[in-house]
Amino acid sequence: MASKKELKKDIDNQVFGLISDSLLFMSLHPDQDAEEVSAVVHEAVTLRNNLIERVNNFGQKDDPKAVKLHFKTIKSDLSEGMDKLCKKLSSLSSGKKKK
């Protein structure tokens, strides 16, 4: 298992990358509704905070199988959450333009 520090860095890098993409999208598409993009950013921050909280607060440190399963679940949730948010951001670009 990678260290907690590396997992936290991975979480931060992926979430901050999505936030950066969202801000870039807003600057390139000023005709889009900024509230929809802000909602994606807010969800990304919520996902990040939730995952970091779960990394920091794990009580069953004496059971190696439980520890491995816990961190595997966190990695899976990160992947699924980022896929969902990327699809939302992508759907905004193919959606209707604000008039």
Q: What is the pLDDT of residue 99?
A: 44
Q: How far is CA 22 from CA 35, 53, 96, in A?
A: 11, 24, 17
Q: What is the pLDDT of residue 64?
A: 86
Provide the residue ranges of all domains of the chain, joining segments of one domain with +: 4-94
Q: What is the pLDDT of residue 96?
A: 53
The amino acid that residue 36 corresponds to is E
Name the residue with tokens 């990358």. 17
Q: What is the pLDDT of residue 34?
A: 87
* Single pTM value for the model: 0.86
Q: Mean pLDDT in each 10-residue stretch from start to end of the chain (99 residues)?
A: 86 96 90 88 97 89 87 95 95 67
